[in-house]
Structure 1
Amino acid sequence: MQCSPCLVVALSGVLVALGLLILGLYCHTPTRYGKHAEVAAEEEQQPLREQQRRHLPAKCAWFLQELPAFLVPALLLALRSPPRFAPLGCRLLVGMFCGHYFHRTFIYSFLTRGRPFPLDTLLFGMLFCVYNGFLQGYYMVYCAEYPDDWCNDIRFTSGILLFLFGMGINVHSDFLLRQLRKPGELTYKIPQGGLFVYVSGANFFGEMLEWFGYAIATWCLPAFAFALFTMCFVGPRAYHHHRYYLRKFIGYPRSRKALIPFIF
């Protein structure tokens, strides 16, 4: 397989367009998962258990959804002939992109205590992870070229630090959310601690920082397209979470923002 710049640009453009489409679709109406599925069921006077017949357990669903984003670039790297383990592009790919999805697939999915996951959302998530996994992996394994001193570049060092900072926020926020519930408990509570002091979507904020850090460190079109997509995807989700908390909990801190501390 040879690098095709036109293919990279086209796939990246589709990713940006998809992000903007999702932003438009879900800016006013949240996806029907978790707390928002409950609200939709109440509004439509439909028992939630009727909806959940078309769902999978959260642990299984998250594993299936995130797995392609780890496997596809890993397979591209393994199947490349001749092998390409030495260049910095491959180390970035393995250490950052695949590292994130290894955690999401093999750690987060088995720890989550979320509600059953809708099959249509799962299918979309799997297809997206295949698509994005191929785009990021294809560029890094077959197209990426960096100078020998790239590791000394301010873009590389600042991007790595931002990625690690964001991943730390994301993992810690997920931990705090899990601690709100006992095993088997499904009630929603006010998130406390960490970045939740400042925003309702601390886990989303961390993930957004991760991918902008990845984009800066790799300094490539596919990574920036993915970072923009992430912002378009988690932004509405955080906004609707924030509105839900404000409506449900009388004592919810009014000083919190939805996604970005002190701003939004």
Structure 2
Amino acid sequence: MEAAAAAAAALPCPVWSAAFWRRLSGPEEQRALELASYVLAGCVALAALAGSGMRLPYGRYSAAFMGAGSLPARLAWLLQEAPSFLLPLLLVCRSEGAQLHRWPNRILLGLFLAHYAYRSFIFPFLIRGGKPTPIFTCVLAFAFCSLNGYLQGRSLSNYVEYPTNWLKDPRFILGIAGWLSGLLINIHSDHILINLRKPGETGYKIPTGGLFEYVTAANFFGEILEWSGFALACCTVESRVFAFSTCLVLTTRAHHHHQWYLQKFENYPRCRKILIPFVY
């Protein structure tokens, strides 16, 4: 009987079992999460540097990259963004969540899940006439969202310990305000872009209203503000790397958008900045 029990204990635990997460968790995993975050930041930085002169092939820039196959825009958005919602949720359900009894951890993880619930399961079905997304672009986004979802979900649910007064800390308060402001700007800007097209239309128009009166990429500004606020409220390596990656990728994308609008529309407002009102 003892030999059988020892043999059973030596067997690999399935990833969905609580025993698997108990065996994996500990200081070693916490260090691994931070190391993985730095590796992710390095990969994003190298990709941004290599692609600084090339427009990332999705949306308006996808036409020239369809040789390897593509997916409908709605399906691509759903598939690539969903891991950022589903993986943290799975981690909470299948692991002990040692830190989830703390309100800061609950709130911050809830904010992350709220964003990706919108981005994964609401936004894709609001898209009108979106261009197909190349499969390899969707795969890259899926990989990033999977790793980032794991990093944010695992660190907040199991490892990050905040002071007892963290909810009153200026960093937490300002960070939450930044997150909420960014989310509202992002959603409002999405609404403006989506409603530029009437049902059945597929072309592009000059966006107006909201922060689009001041910048070309108001939606990107909102997302950068959102995750910068999240990083300030979290104060973790994982959240800072996420904010850094978001800023790097979307700043490059915003620059490409601005140049594209200037080339395509002769009447495009020359006074508009690229990303940050009155600054850049």
Q: TM-score, normalised by structure 1?
A: 0.92
1:9 Cα offset (Å)? 2.0
Structure 2: which amino acid aligns with 1:87?
R
Alignment of 1:47-66 (within 5 A): 51=66, 54-66=69-81
Q: Is residue 186–residue 218 contact of structure 2 (8 Å, CA) maintained in 1?
A: yes
> 2:270 & 2:157 partners in 1: Cα distance?
47
- Asked if 1:90 is matched to 2:90, the reply is no
1:52 Cα offset (Å)? 7.3
Residue ranges of structure 1 left out of the alignment (5+ in a row): 42-50
- Bigger radius of gyration: 2
Task: Return structure 1 stretches of 4+ with deviation > 4 angstroms.
Answer: none
- Asked if 1:179 is matched to 2:222, the reply is no
Secondary structure of the corresponding residue to residue 29 of structure 1? coil
Choose 78-87 or 166-175, whichever is displaced more.
Answer: 78-87
Q: Which residue of 1 aligns with 2:120?
A: 105
1:53 Cα offset (Å)? 7.5
Q: Is residue 60–residue 109 contact of structure 1 (8 Å, CA) maintained in 2?
A: yes
- Asked if 1:129 is matched to 2:154, the reply is no
Q: Is residue 161–residue 213 contact of structure 1 (8 Å, CA) maintained in 2?
A: yes
1:90 Cα offset (Å)? 3.1
Q: Is residue 77–residue 84 contact of structure 1 (8 Å, CA) maintained in 2?
A: no
- Asked if 1:244 is matched to 2:269, the reply is no
Residue ranges of structure 2 left out of the alignment (5+ in a row): 1-20
- Residue 90 (structure 2) aligned to one of 66, 75, 81: 75
> 2:67 & 2:206 partners in 1: Cα distance?
24
- Residue 235 (structure 2) aligned to one of 200, 204, 219: 219
How many residue pairs get aligned? The number is 254
Choose 84-93 or 181-190, whichever is displaced more.
Answer: 84-93
Alpha carbons of 1:89 and 1:22: their partners in 2 closer, same or farther (altered >3 Å)?
A: farther
Alignment of 1:16-27 (within 5 A): 16-27=41-52
Alignment of 1:184-263 (within 5 A): 184-263=200-279
- Asked if 1:115 is matched to 2:131, the reply is yes
Q: TM-score, normalised by structure 2?
A: 0.86
> 2:97 & 2:214 partners in 1: Cα distance?
49
Structure 2: which amino acid aligns with 1:146?
Y
